Chain A
Amino acid sequence: MAPVHDELQRTLNPTCTGASVIAMQYKTGVVVMTDRVVSYGKMARYKNVSRQYKVNDNVLVTFGGDHADFQWLQNVIERQVLLWKRFDQDIGPKALHGYLTSLLYARRCKMNPLWNTLVVAGVEEEEKNNKETSTPFIGIITQKGCAYQVKHVATGLGAFLLNQAVEDEFRKKGDELTRQEAEAVLKKALELTLYHDCVADNDFEIGRVDANEGVVLGKEQTIIGDWSIAETNCQYE
């Protein structure tokens, strides 16, 4: 039986957290958007922090949830990448997704979870060379080790707010979506979380994994949004 104070050493409530991750696949790759703030409760504690981690040229991992846990995970991922390097191989998105699923599930079984929702985005190396069969990969892993693959996703509060809107946009074009179109959808999506998620920020970055270009980390961008509605809101009663 574990001692009573044991739970104090576990992440049973997260401290510094990242909010939503929004990702979408387009014709030849995946675009992933995160905002650049790490919150302490409802306080915007650290600004200008990237929540995207470039694993290698084919894989990009982004996270929502506890920041400390993710920094630890970055270390674990790096070691895994080096392990593969020893056998002269580059880890692909599917393999990393599987590995992280097992890791998060194992930690949940120890009742010591990693408080993260991970989005693994990428393109498989062998599919990169064959443009016809190239299918971009987006894999989600929740804190409890529940993993699934999708074509578009929003995590955190975005799962409630944005999933349907993003799905409808995706369904209009399907797999024929271009990168510009996908990025436009994501930008609009961030603007919409901004209005309702109090820990979302208007500084954001869009990373992408493309079959031709590999992983390209995004630059910091800012969105203001439309606040003209405030004029009409007199709040009487």
Chain B
Amino acid sequence: MVSTEVKNVAAHMDMDRGGAFDFSNCIRNQAMCKMGAKAPKLTSTGTTIVAVSYKGGLVMGADSRATAGNIIADKHCEKVHKLTESIYACGAGTAADLDQVTKMLSGNLRLLELNTGRKARVITALRQAKQHLFNYQGYIGAYLLIGGVDPTGPHLYMCSANGTTMAFPFTAQGSGSYAAITILERDFKVDMTKEEAEKLVQRALEAGMHGDNASGNSLNLVIIEPKETVFKGPIVPEFCKRPEPNDLVYKFKTGATKVLKNKTFKYDIIESMDISH
């Protein structure tokens, strides 16, 4: 009797340890799967995001396609997120997670800046992100490139959904990263000028958008320097434009829709109300 009780308690503790997390639905979900139910699938957005550091600054960029399965959900989606005036994050992965994580980061960093009276450092943004993501064991599907310029110079970091982070002179992420990283490896040089870096990021993004189905439409760039941050975009590469316009005009004349039922409402306007006080 006692032993079974202990066993039950142990099983329970395993399921919802402490008060912070409640895993009891995992049991329910598994039971539902046994009944033949299928677990929902999360949709992740295919993406190409690229960042390159150069002498004294950083260029980051992203394409603007958001996909849900094989359908383009958004053609002009903003994947370059502003964290502070001189720290930006590009995101690949689950769109909602990215929005929330970057929102949280920008809020926290702004608070920090107001409290300390100084500009936030890139490493702070990275630490916040990785500690948050690590807590959720990769279930928050946010893959971030965090980069910017602070008093210690330009920095570029990659942060994976499970909390892995790395520093890079240049990197790419997302489904188009394979095609993009090849261009970066080929053409990257240490201490490039701003123009060279900007062109390189654009070329890498274009390779990703061209060779990868889930990336495309247009690209956005942000050039971060100690003095100013310049945002460029949307830039539409040649292969992303429609080569030919439509042949026909699809406009319906009045009367195209069949009227099934008519109902008339009559309103009597008595007086206009004054709501100014």
Contacts and interface: CB of A to CB of B under 8 A. Distances in A.
Interface residues of B, number: 22
B126 A232 contact: no
A180 interface: no
Q: Is the interface of A mostly helix, strand, loop or mixed?
A: helix
Interface of B: 123, 126-127, 157, 165-169, 178-179, 181-183, 185-186, 188, 190, 207-208, 210-211
Q: Is the interface of B mostly helix, strand, loop or mixed?
A: helix
Contact of B179 (A161, A188, A234): A161
Interface in A194-237: 195-196, 228-229, 232-237
A235 B166 contact: yes
Contact of A165 (B157, B166, B182): B182
A237 B207 contact: no
A161 B165 contact: no
A148 B75 CA distance: 31
A172 to B, nearest CB: 13
Contact of A237 (B126, B179, B182, B211): B126
B167 A161 contact: no
A164 B211 CA distance: 5
Nearest to A234: B167
A163 B190 contact: no
B94 to A, nearest CB: 21
Contacts of B183: 165
Contact of B167 (A163, A165, A195, A235): A235
A87 interface: no
A229 B186 contact: no
Nearest to A236: B167
Given A161-B179, A237-B123, A168 B207 contact: yes
Contacts of A232: 169, 190
B157 A195 contact: no
Contacts of B188: 229
B127, B183, B188, B211 pick with most chain A CB within 10 angstroms: B211
A228 B179 CA distance: 22
A228 B190 contact: yes
A72 interface: no
Contact of A196 (B126, B127, B165, B185): B185
Contacts of A237: 123, 126-127, 157, 165-167
A186 interface: no
Interface of A: 157, 160-165, 167-168, 188, 192, 195-196, 228-229, 232-237
Contact of B182 (A192, A228, A229, A233): A192
Nearest to A189: B182
A236 B210 CA distance: 33
Contacts of B165: 237
A192 B186 contact: yes
Contacts of A228: 190
A163 B211 contact: yes
B211 A192 contact: no
14 contacts: A160-B179, A161-B178, A161-B181, A162-B182, A163-B179, A165-B179, A165-B182, A168-B210, A188-B186, A192-B186, A196-B178, A196-B182, A229-B169, A229-B190
B25 to A, nearest CB: 35
A167 B211 contact: yes
A59 B208 CA distance: 34
B129 to A, nearest CB: 11
B105 to A, nearest CB: 15
Contacts of B211: 163-164, 167
A157 B177 CA distance: 13
Given A161-B178, A163-B211, A165-B186, 17 more contacts: A157-B178, A161-B182, A162-B182, A164-B179, A164-B207, A165-B182, A168-B210, A188-B186, A192-B182, A195-B185, A196-B181, A196-B182, A196-B185, A229-B188, A229-B190, A232-B190, A237-B157
Nearest to B203: A168
A192 B185 contact: yes
Contacts of B178: 157, 160-161, 196
Nearest to A232: B169
B217 to A, nearest CB: 17
Nearest to A225: B185
A160 to B, nearest CB: 4
A164 B182 contact: yes
A217 to B, nearest CB: 27
Contacts of A167: 210-211
Contacts of A168: 207, 210
Contacts of A192: 182, 185-186
